[in-house]
Amino acid sequence: MTQPAVAALIVPPLFNGPPGSANGGYFSGALAALLPGAPASAVVTLRKPPPLGIPLHATVTDAGGVTLHHGDVLVGEAAPAALAGFGTPEPVPFETAKAAEQSYRGLARHPFPGCFVCGTQRGGAAGLHLFAGEASGHDGLHACTWTPDAALADVADADLADGDLRRPDRPEADGASVRPEFVWAALDCPGAWTIDLETRDVVLGRITARVLGVPSVGEPCVVTARLIAQDGRKHTTCTALYGRDGRLLGEAEALWIELPPRT
């Protein structure tokens, strides 16, 4: 028998992926944060596109996982889980990752240009702006840089609820840490761009992540990613996030599902 609901998770519209739904990485990190006991690593499966700005009801299961529903519809589920061990993409120097951004495929064609993590058309809205491209001389490795700004600091839950991360009355966030949800987000989209997206669109189906630490505001970080396997409409990728001193902050393995061709 399942336990009573433990929380009502609301994903603010700011954290969108495809139009009208949450960014898969941010959503997965927020759902994983509800797991009892704060496991070292977790798997999140997306069953339906997570809606934005409305309460989603989380329930702890007898097995120690969490399910998330919108009414009677199962939106996602999380559970403690270890990485499968496909390999951790290696780090590259910050300058190499910066140069790789020039080959970011999303600059030519982007299926979801408003995406919070990798969108090229965010306008003035906060975003991660992670533009992973192939790193020269690294045999298929993709990389990009990430320097978290104050809008992504360890802000209060009330700020996340209304999506207002740039209020002028917020204290300066120098030295503050980034919330773990944003580490999950950073480990998400760069993996997708290792897939040939010139003629196809993919969405996140499942992600397993291990967060070892969180970067500070203003810390220059590097994200690297590799394509591991393709099987029909399913694509498997690995990503890693490295901090200023090259330390591994987090890594993830993701399963991407190719959408039917646009008509």
At 64-82, the pLDDT tens digits run 999 999 999 999 999 999 9
Residue intervals in the chain for CATH 3.10.129.10: 5-80, 94-258
Q: Give the per-residue pLDDT at 151.
A: 75
Q: Give the per-residue pLDDT at 170.
A: 46
Rounded Cα distance, 210 and 3, in Å: 26
The segments of the chain whose pLDDT lies below 70 read 1-6, 154-175, 262-263
> If you classify domain 5-80 with CATH, what class do you get?
alpha beta
- Span 94-258 CATH architecture: Roll (3.10)
Taking the model in full, what pTM does it have? 0.91
Alpha carbon of 226 to those of 187, 195, 230: distances in Å?
11, 9, 12
Q: Give the per-residue pLDDT at 197.
A: 86
Residues shown for the chain = 263
> Is the CB of residue 174 less than 8 Å from the CB of residue 219?
no
Rounded Cα distance, 134 and 97, in Å: 9
